[in-house]
Amino acid sequence: MNTRSDVRNGAVEQAYREHWARLLALLTAQLRDLDLAEESLQDAFAAAVSTWPPVPANPPAWLLTAARRRAVDRLRRTAVAARKLPLLVVEEQPAHDDRLRLIFTCCHPALSMEARVALTLRCVGGLTTRQIARMFLVGEATMAARITRAKKKISQAGIPYRVPAGPELRERLDGVLAVLYLIFTEGYAATEGDELIRDEPATEAIALARLLVSLLPDDSEVRALQALMMLHHARRHARVTSDGRLVTLAEQDRTLWRHDEIEEALGLLIPGPPGPYLLQAAIAAEHTSAARAEDTDWVAIAALYGMLEELTGSAVVRLNRAVAVAEAAGAAEGLALLEGLETELPHHHLLPATRAELLRRLGRAEEAVAEYGRALALVGTQQEREFLLSRRTETERRLCP
């Protein structure tokens, strides 16, 4: 049986999850002040915790009224009251794109990338400062300061609360997608720490992408980003063994993949101009649609990487393309593509790790051992370190039988 406080907390939590971003967007639209809107909405949720149950018939309406009342109280105490109070009197219909405006505000290019990530998680995702700090492995005080600074900049620099129009939209939308993918990447391959995959950022990034798809349903790149993240995330249970060791794609137990999620992700892809996310999603889709590792269509994947490299000119893409080419056409051709990448990726452990792997396949064991050593000096996570160590030991054994 549920106790009274269980019912209350459950209802408030549910309301928080479902309505936080929309209510914050609506209040920000009315108040033109993100900080004030957020504080007032927090007050409203605090009020809900102490007065529910009975849970009101329309929780978001209750919360909005409570938040508006708190905003009026706060404004009365300040000199800006005369300017902003009239905004609250107007009963605006909740506009469809309020949340979209909130996302574009949080991801404005005048803010640092760190600030954009933190603000998006806080304001659109509704995460607490403590949760965001934990996600990015920084102290809560550091993250609180980062968020406060960002909000201050929004009001003091006059960062608009608006979705840009015309050609500017595409450019700014790319920035929004980059923020979401950055959040995801932090969870998919943690850059430091003992855990290789952390679910929280990945789940949050997918939820944010889902929201963005619901707001911009016709954009093939937005849909492709959600699909791409879901395709990666669907493999999470197969990527690490129960004792925490990294499993390569080829060695993964494909029955552990979440095939329901893969199905949903593939359904999201629609034809469109070949943007970076559509191409990456197409590559991930090639991997997930192979029943066994040896069924993978490496020729198609190498071709997709070729298009992606042409589009982005990225050294990391070239590294991945080299791996695909090695599978499709042989290790020697892959190795050739790695030439000269050191200058662009001097601290990337995957470059020497890949070169080591290809040299090993070509029987050049001595050179491979040296490259494993270089990779080990650069690697950041424990799981990858162990993987590289075991590969090096295995290769050394071949040298001295």
Partner 1 sequence: MKYALLLYGNEKLWDQATPEQADQTRVAHERFIAMLNERGAFLGGDALARSREALTLRKKAGQVLRTDGPYVETVEHLGGFYLIEAADLDEAIGYAKACPEQIVEVRPVVEYEE
Q: How many residues bind partner 1 (CB under 8 A)?
A: 12
Q: Which is nearer to partner 1, 94 or 160 (CB)?
A: 160
- Considering the complex, what minimum distance in angstroms separates the CB of residue 161 from partner 1? 8
Binding to partner 1 in span 117-156, by CB under 8 A: 156
Q: Which of 46, 61, 110, 332 touches partner 1 (CB under 8 A)?
A: 110
Q: DSSP secondary structure string, 282-314?
A: HHHHHHHT-SSGGG--HHHHHHHHHHHHHHH--
CA angle 366, 371, 377 (to 5 degrees): 135
Q: Which is nearer to partner 1, 145 or 157 (CB)?
A: 157
CA angle 67, 71, 72 (to 5 degrees): 120
Is there binding between residue 81 and partner 1 (CB under 8 A)? no
Q: DSSP secondary structure string, 164-233?
A: --THHHHHHHHHHHHHHHHHHHHHHS-SSSS-S--HHHHHHHHHHHHHHHHHSTT-HHHHHHHHHHHHHH
- Considering the complex, what minimum distance in angstroms separates the CB of residue 157 from partner 1? 5
Q: Which is nearer to partner 1, 104 or 257 (CB)?
A: 104
Q: Which is nearer to partner 1, 50 or 156 (CB)?
A: 156
- Considering the complex, what minimum distance in angstroms separates the CB of residue 127 from partner 1? 26
- Residues 116, 181 contacting (CB under 8 angstroms): no
Q: Which of 68, 108, 198, 360 touches partner 1 (CB under 8 A)?
A: 108
Q: Which is nearer to partner 1, 79 or 90 (CB)?
A: 79
Distance CA 350, CA 321 (A): 13
- Residues 318, 335 contacting (CB under 8 angstroms): no
Over the window 154 to 183, marking each residue x when it contacts partner 1 by CB under 8 A and - when it does not, the resulting string is: --xxxxx-x-x---x---------------
Residues contributing to the site for partner 1 (CB under 8 A): 79-80, 108, 110, 156-160, 162, 164, 168
